Amino acid sequence: MKVLLFEKSGIENLKYTDVKDEEPETHQVKIRVLSAGVNPIDYFVVNGIPVRPLPHIPGAEIYGEVEKTGDSVRNFSRGDKVVVYNRVFDGSCDMCLQSSENLCRNGGIISVITNGGYSEFFIVDEKNLIKVSGISEEIAASLPVAALTAYHGLRTAGLRAGETLVVFGASGNTGQFAVQLGKIMGAQVIAVSKKGWVKELGADLVTDLSNVKDVVSKVTEGKMADVVVDPLGEKTWLNSLEVVGVKGRWVTFGTLTGSNVSVQLNTIYSKHISLFGTTGGNRKELQELTSLSRKMKVKVGKVFSLEEGKEALKYLMAGDRDGRAIIKV
Ligand SMILES: [Zn+2]
């Protein structure tokens, strides 16, 4: 079967090549990969974070169709459309027992501690699959990382109807979903982006970075935001901190522009601000998204073939990217 593979880190070392096709074990399912999202995690996997095994197949966000099931698999059959919950988890540690499979003590991220899905076929435990129907291929390929990360972040921050949510990086992978989920959860959403099309995601207001403070202040009559989501990190950290209101919640789950920040602690405690770090989400949330996402859309910037994996990763990090990068296998 065809895969994207690297032995030594670096995009230039990614090869489109053949590896031996394998069969699912008793509780596993073999899926034919239809589409795979391209995310910062994939870029970091290819560019030097420690991974195993080597040679390594990246690809953390996988949508496909069941090809073959192991002998004990009852809930899936050939032809089912599925997304892959991309965490390895044991199901028995204290974190798993409280439905925090993303924080499993003995787990990790599929595509980091296992091979990923930039591949014609992908074999995974049945407990990692969730069926989807009635959604577009682009949305399905955006649920396991982009949408799930945004949803879990908003849920962890306890976003409530009627609150004001500010989303930085609103045209980005997670940002697009944070805007839409914020609306579904009943919030007033202010999106920070230079892209005009972000308005079509349902944001109440779209503003650029230089005006965000004034816009949030005006809309909230000086109270500022209840929840702020910022997946960008270093470059926008101060902008986002200054729009968090009293008792506001600030959510970080990404560092696309770097992760070194300096903070005046008094700006946090004097306003009773809660800082939430989140990563991924749990299986239940991914399952909820399969129905919530029927109302959602995703702006795709460019679709690549598996063979064009290098270009897809370069496009992901290009400053002029205009929507998601998706690999169609
Ligand atoms: Zn566990």
How many Å lie between the centroid of ligand 1 and the Cα of residue 91? 5
Q: How far apart are the C-alpha atoms of 86 and 52, rounded to whole Å?
A: 15
How many Å lie between the centroid of ligand 1 and the Cα of residue 127? 13
Tokens at 147, concatenated: 């949408």
Higher pLDDT, 320 or 164: 164
Over range 192-207, report the average pLDDT.
Answer: 96
How many Å lie between the centroid of ligand 1 and the Cα of residue 213? 41
How many Å lie between the centroid of ligand 1 and the Cα of residue 128? 13
Tens of pLDDT, residues 65-101: 999 999 999 999 999 999 999 999 999 999 999 999 9
pLDDT at 236: 95
User: Which residues surround the ion ligand 1 when the cut-off is CB under 5 Å?
Assistant: 89-90, 93, 96, 104
How many Å lie between the centroid of ligand 1 and the Cα of residue 125? 15
pLDDT at 94: 98
pLDDT at 306: 97
How many Å lie between the centroid of ligand 1 and the Cα of residue 86? 14
How many Å lie between the centroid of ligand 1 and the Cα of residue 146? 22
In terms of DSSP H, where are the helices of 1-123? 40-46, 94-97
How many Å lie between the centroid of ligand 1 and the Cα of residue 279? 15
Q: How far apart are the C-alpha atoms of 169 and 193, rounded to whole Å?
A: 6
How many Å lie between the centroid of ligand 1 and the Cα of residue 280? 15
How many Å lie between the centroid of ligand 1 and the Cα of residue 53? 21
pLDDT at 256: 86
Over range 30-51, report the average pLDDT.
Answer: 96
Model's pTM, two decimal places?
0.97
Over range 52-69, report the average pLDDT.
Answer: 98
SS3 183: helix
pLDDT at 223: 98
How many Å lie between the centroid of ligand 1 and the Cα of residue 231? 26
DSSP state of 302: E
How many Å lie between the centroid of ligand 1 and the Cα of residue 92? 5
How many Å lie between the centroid of ligand 1 and the Cα of residue 102? 8
User: C-alpha distances in angstroms, 70 versus 2, 9, 29?
Assistant: 22, 33, 6
pLDDT at 59: 98
Tens of pLDDT, residues 169-194: 999 999 999 999 999 999 999 999 99
pLDDT at 252: 96
Query: Is 90 exceeded by the pLDDT of residue 158?
Result: yes
pLDDT at 240: 95
How many Å lie between the centroid of ligand 1 and the Cα of residue 88? 8
How many Å lie between the centroid of ligand 1 and the Cα of residue 97? 7
Tens of pLDDT, residues 239-288: 999 999 999 999 999 988 889 999 999 999 999 999 999 999 999 999 99
How many Å lie between the centroid of ligand 1 and the Cα of residue 232? 29
Give exposure, 203-229, as e/b (b: 16+ Cβ within 10 Å).
bbbbbebeebeebbbebbeeebbbbbb
Tell me the average pLDDT of the chain: 97
pLDDT at 319: 79
pLDDT at 86: 98
How many Å lie between the centroid of ligand 1 and the Cα of residue 47? 28
Query: Is 90 exceeded by the pLDDT of residue 320?
Result: no
Over range 20-25, report the average pLDDT.
Answer: 97
Query: Is 90 exceeded by the pLDDT of residue 152?
Result: yes
Question: Which residues are CB-neighbours of 142 under 8 A, at least 6 positions away?
Answer: 37, 61, 173, 177, 298, 324, 326
Query: Is 90 exceeded by the pLDDT of residue 204?
Result: yes
Domains in the chain (CATH in brackets) are 2-142+298-328 (3.90.180.10), 146-277 (3.40.50.720)
